[in-house]
């Protein structure tokens, strides 16, 4: 059995991987990796460069002077820790809310007792919701938040990110719930399990990987969200992406501190994805297949 599996893999590897021949494959992989890694190398080294080096012409490719000055500047002088906490609270809370509400709704659509039309209507609604442009509601949301005195609060950002993440979570979790064998639920039902018991005791435990996948995607989405963060925050509730963009519009050419802020922004989500790469990729694939 194991041997057969290995053989299958090698056929795939050869037929698809070497579709243009082995040398071409090596070249394509090498170019792709350099193209991805070089900008990251540039970003990371820029964050450690001294000012003379990040503004040098010609640019310094292999710096031999390193400094933590840029990190010191953004963390101490600009108080980046506050914005880091803002980002974290907004992303974590909105992810938690959308996971709870979203998986409930997804289970309801996937396995609840609805008329066919109602089920279809909900499915369509959540799909349209995933596609429609966020900018379309920017002005009304801004006006309402202003009237509620929620501008420049984390609450406003948590609400909006939850709104963006809910359709995503629902859509992913629907896919995972539909994979749970119907017999499992049927037998639980025969044993007298109620709707709630089925959800918590039967379906929930087997869809935990799905929940992790949806959670990671939602967290990253909220962590990196920019449009509403820049519209709804002035100062107190600024998140990290708003700070990064600010280096362009406010000050310009402060590449070192900008790079340091970007590195600080990247590290938490990088750790998250490295820890749960399998679920992350599974979630991405599921999102596309369902989409």
Partner 1 sequence: MKAQNKANGAPKMKHRNETVWSWLFMLPTMIFLGVTALLPLLYSVYLSFFKYKINLPNAVPTFNGLGNYIKMFTDKTLAVSTGNTVLFAVISVALELVIGIIVAMVLCSDMLWAKICTTILLIPMIMAPVAIGTTWRMMLDGTTGIINYLLSFLGIPSINWLSNPKYAMPAVIFVNVWQLVPWVAIIGAAGLKALPADCFEAARIDGAKNSQIFAKIVLPMISPLLVIITMLRFVDAFKVFDTVYTMTNGGPGTATEMLPNYIYKQGLKFFDAGYTAALAVMFVLIMTVVTLIFLKLRKFVEEKVA
Residues 233-272 that bind partner 1 (CB under 8 A): 240-241, 244-245, 247-249, 255, 258-259, 262, 265-266, 269-270
Burial class (CB in 10 A: 0-12, 13-18, 19+), 276: middle
> How far from the centroid of its chain's Cα atoms is residue 285's Cα?
14
Candidate residues 74, 80, 93, 166; the one interacting with partner 1 per rule CB under 8 A: 166
The CB-of-56 to partner 1 minimum distance in angstroms stands at: 7
Contacts with partner 1 in 123-142 (CB under 8 A)? 125, 128-129, 131-142
Taking phi over 0 as left and psi of -120 to 50 as alpha, with beta for the rest, 271 belongs to alpha
Q: Is 278 in the site for partner 1 (CB under 8 A)?
A: no
What lies within 8 Å, CB to CB, of 51 at 6+ separation is: 69, 256
- Between 177 and 216, how does the x/- string for binding to partner 1 read (CB under 8 A)? ------------xxxx-xxx--x-----------------
Q: Is 19 in the site for partner 1 (CB under 8 A)?
A: yes
How far is residue 212's CA from residue 140's CA, in Å, rounded to a whole number? 33
Q: Is 23 in the site for partner 1 (CB under 8 A)?
A: no
Given the complex with partner 1, which of 33 and 81 has the nearer CB atom?
Answer: 33
Candidate residues 1, 16, 77, 182; the one interacting with partner 1 per rule CB under 8 A: 16
End-to-end CA distance of the chain: 34
Given the complex with partner 1, which of 71 and 199 has the nearer CB atom?
Answer: 199
Q: Is the dihedral of CA 219, 169, 281, 34 positive or negative?
A: negative
Q: Is 176 in the site for partner 1 (CB under 8 A)?
A: no
């Amino acid at each position: 059995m194991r041997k057969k599996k290995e053989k299958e893999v090698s056929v795939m590897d050869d037929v698809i991987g070497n579709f243009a021949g082995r040398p071409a494959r090596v070249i394509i992989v090498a170019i792709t990796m350099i193209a991805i890694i070089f900008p990251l190398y540039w970003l990371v080294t820029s964050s450690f460069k001294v000012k003379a080096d990040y503004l040098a012409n010609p640019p310094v490719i292999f710096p031999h002077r390193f400094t933590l000055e840029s990190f010191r500047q953004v963390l101490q002088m600009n108080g980046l820790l506050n914005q880091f906490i803002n980002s974290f609270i907004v992303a974590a809370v909105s992810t938690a809310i959308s996971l709870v509400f979203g998986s409930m709704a997804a289970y309801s659509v996937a396995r609840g007792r609805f008329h066919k039309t109602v089920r279809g209507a909900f499915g369509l609604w959540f799909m349209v919701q995933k596609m429609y442009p966020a900018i379309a509601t920017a002005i009304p949301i801004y006006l309402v938040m202003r009237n509620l005195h929620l501008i420049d609060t984390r609450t406003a950002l948590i609400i909006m990110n939850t709104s963006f993440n809910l359709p995503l979570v629902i859509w992913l979790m629907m896919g995972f719930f539909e994979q749970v064998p119907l017999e499992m639920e049927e037998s639980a039902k025969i044993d007298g399990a109620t709707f709630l018991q089925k959800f918590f005791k039967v379906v929930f435990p087997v869809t935990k990987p799905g929940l992790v996948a949806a959670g990671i995607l939602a967290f990253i989405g909220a962590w990196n969200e920019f449009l509403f963060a820049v519209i709804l925050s002035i100062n107190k509730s600024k998140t990290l992406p708003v700070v990064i963009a600010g280096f362009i519009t406010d000050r310009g050419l402060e590449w070192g501190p900008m790079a340091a802020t970007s590195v600080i922004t990247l590290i938490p989500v990088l750790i998250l994805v490295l820890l749960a790469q399998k679920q992350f990729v599974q979630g991405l694939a599921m999102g596309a297949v369902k989409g």
